Amino acid sequence: MEKLCGFVATLLFLVSLLFNGGAAARALNKNQDASEEWGYVEVRPKAHMFWWLYKSPYRIENPSKPWPIILWLQGGPGASGVGIGNFEEVGPLDTYLKPRNSTWLKKADLLFVDNPVGTGYSYVEDNSSFVKNDVEAANDLTTLLMELFNKNEILQKSPLFIVAESYGGKFAATLGLAAVKAIEAGKLKLKLGGVALGDSWISPEDFVFSWGPLLKDMSRLDTNGFAKSNQIAQKIKQQLEAGEFVSATDSWAQLESVISQNSNSVDFYNFLLDSGMDPVSLTASTLAVGASMRKYSRYLSAHKSSTPDGDGDVGSLMNGVIKKKLKIIPENVTWGGQSDSVFTELSGDFMRPRISEVDELLAKGVNVTVYNGQLDVICSTKGTEAWIEKLKWDGLQKFLSTERTPLFCGNDKITKGFKKSYKNLHFYWILGAGHFVPVDQPCIALNMLAAMTDSPASASARKAKL
């Protein structure tokens, strides 16, 4: 059945490349098995956000069950979810347009957006329309959700789960709160199932302080390298306390450079690898602000051996056959995996923490899932554990004292990870995975997704709007 559904989805996609016509803001491919929609929403004057919704062909296997929708938020800031998350991580097809066996469509419908405006296919008509902080980005995303959900009763029946990766976690936390407030005010007709923060940049201070100890324990830094790293981390801490966020972003880039020089260019997305293993990526020793995040998509396309489904040149794909398929992308808009303009405009917010937003989500009863790859550096598990311990949520101490349970996949009895849950907070330790958990551990990621969308807190969200 799965092979048949995958074949049908691929056939529909390829046929649509030839026959999908019209210049409308939405384009559709529909039958009883699968469908796609995409379009633009002008979230503010001169600010146009692109979205792409896939309806799962696997929903027909259990048609009576409310089928969840995953809103995928990429990192960067300025990395394209429509390109990277879709074709390189969890979408139905890889960058060779071959079916992805580990697509998240097996568990949910998928909604990808290029967020913030100026990212990927999203665009602004003038530079004054770029967002300057996470809250502005969340407001734009809320406007997008209003446009998609408020007039669509079918979408309103399905719980929406906001799933984020990397810097996308900051967008997810702020969007989660903005969405809850809009729902409570009657402005957004939506069931919020939960928020998931995958290897997320929630507390930059905790992460930069984690890099030195982690890499020293892993023998990528010696005592001298650790001392240099810690000195810059202390400088960042002082800058953050003084509210000097742009300077802290500059120091962050300096810290990555120092770590690279003293670790023989460790890969910030997987400490078992060298950045130099990726022939097209910049090493941290040549970093300018934002260059590290430009390696985001290049890491995925370079390490083909770790990607079961394979991947090719996503840039050529997005600016070639996909742009031709979609038809509505303006000629002057060129897709890029990472927008330096978006990163630069957000440089004053890049190092700002969003722990309090996670606290508010928990206090409001929103289901929050946190997951982290064991091998990640930039958003390390050590740093994630540190910011979680700073939560003021009244269930924190019970959560911390709860025992973990091991995770397995299929008949394989090798430990793939651990999980801890208390009330509406859930934490997953994913073994053998770096920054990109769905790529490195697709089986455990799908199991986690199933648990997240079927949890009691999620079920209650399906029955009643927040």
Residues recognised as catalytic: 166, 376, 435
**Contact criterion met (CB below 8 Å) for 171 and 164:** yes
For residues 218 and 233, give the distance between their C-alpha atoms in angstroms, rounded to a whole number: 19
**Contact criterion met (CB below 8 Å) for 142 and 131:** no
For residues 320 and 323, give the distance between their C-alpha atoms in angstroms, rounded to a whole number: 6
What secondary structure letter does DSSP report for 332? T
Quick one: the chain helix, strand, coil %, rounded to 5? Answer: 45, 20, 35
For residues 172 and 179, give the distance between their C-alpha atoms in angstroms, rounded to a whole number: 10
98 by Cβ neighbours in 10 Å (0-12 / 13-18 / 19+) ranks as middle
For residues 97 and 118, give the distance between their C-alpha atoms in angstroms, rounded to a whole number: 25
Of the candidates 104, 195, 201, 189, the one whose C-alpha atom is nearest the C-alpha of residue 147 is 189
* Distance, CA of 249 to chain centre: 21
Of the candidates 343, 306, 327, the one whose C-alpha atom is nearest the C-alpha of residue 433 is 306
Q: Token digits for 94?
A: 């890889």
What secondary structure letter does DSSP report for 404? P
Q: What pairing do the DSSP bridges indicate for beta strands 191-200 and 266-267?
A: unpaired
**Contact criterion met (CB below 8 Å) for 67 and 59:** yes
Sign of CA dihedral 428, 433, 438, 443: negative
Max CA distance (Å), the chain? 62
How many C-beta atoms lie closer than 10 Å to residue 26's C-beta? 13
- The C-alpha torsion from 404 through 410 and 411 to 416, rounded to 10°, is -40
**Contact criterion met (CB below 8 Å) for 102 and 110:** no
For residues 349 and 334, give the distance between their C-alpha atoms in angstroms, rounded to a whole number: 26
